[in-house]
Chains A and B, each alone.
Chain A
């Protein structure tokens, strides 16, 4: 099946720093990628939709200036958490939509962020 990778898998940083998370589709081209966040014992919540070559679409309540998304190629989207604070600590998961066939979304393994 299709493979999506994320890097890093986990990161610990100090409050106020910025953290970049990469999401790559390894064996297919993804014109659309999605970024989700999951807090403990909560459901995955869609943060934004990342479209290759255009601006990301953010869900209500998600600050676009805090969560910067860049989708510069058909296989790579990045999420940068700027000036991270402890409340940003969460499990960030990307998914990539395979444009072929049933256009299934494939999830990356997630990035666990801990802000101290």
Chain B
């Protein structure tokens, strides 16, 4: 059974702080990895893909450790608008041919 595990939180963090989320996946054959963001009662939206070399997009940095089957997301200088649920997502193939496997998400609350 394919599984993606995340700490559900909630993480209560003051505005401007740095926060990190972790995620582990069970299928060592997984090929592609993503972080999605889901706001309350909305569909998930792609935040960023995660590459083996690590990648950064503005205040967001994602890391992948294939040996440990571990994915991380770092948010620097957090904003109130960053409050959401962050979903760790894994795909079995690199081309997106399969459905995605979602973690339950980590709930982040940025406090003023």
Contacting pair A49 B98 (CB below 8 A): yes
Contacting pair B99 A36 (CB below 8 A): yes
Q: How large is the interface on A (under 10, 10 to 19, 20 to 34, 35 or more residues)?
A: 20 to 34
Residue of B4, B100, B103, B105 near A105 (CB, 8 A) is: B100
**Interface check B29, CB cutoff 8 A:** no
Smallest CB separation, B25 vs chain A (Å): 13
A102 to B96 Cα, complex, angstroms: 8
Contacting pair A105 B104 (CB below 8 A): no
Smallest CB separation, B96 vs chain A (Å): 4
Tell me which residues across on chain B come within 8 A of A97, comparing CB atoms.
Answer: 96-97
Tell me which residues across on chain B come within 8 A of A106, comparing CB atoms.
Answer: 46
A30 to B32 Cα, complex, angstroms: 20
Interface centre among B43, B101, B103 (most CB of A within 10 A): B43
| With A43-B102, A44-B102, A46-B101: A107-B96 Cβ-Cβ less than 8 Å | no
Chain B residues in contact with chain A, CB under 8 A?
Answer: 4, 41-46, 49, 87, 95-105
Smallest CB separation, B5 vs chain A (Å): 10
Q: List 21 A-B contacts (CB under 8 A).
A: A32-B97, A36-B102, A43-B87, A43-B102, A43-B105, A46-B100, A46-B101, A93-B43, A95-B100, A97-B97, A102-B49, A103-B96, A103-B97, A104-B46, A105-B96, A107-B43, A107-B44, A107-B45, A109-B42, A109-B43, A112-B41
A43-B102, A109-B42 known, 20 other contacts, Cβ within 8 Å = A32-B97, A34-B99, A36-B102, A42-B104, A43-B103, A43-B105, A44-B87, A46-B99, A46-B100, A49-B98, A49-B99, A91-B41, A93-B44, A102-B96, A103-B97, A104-B46, A105-B100, A106-B46, A108-B43, A112-B41
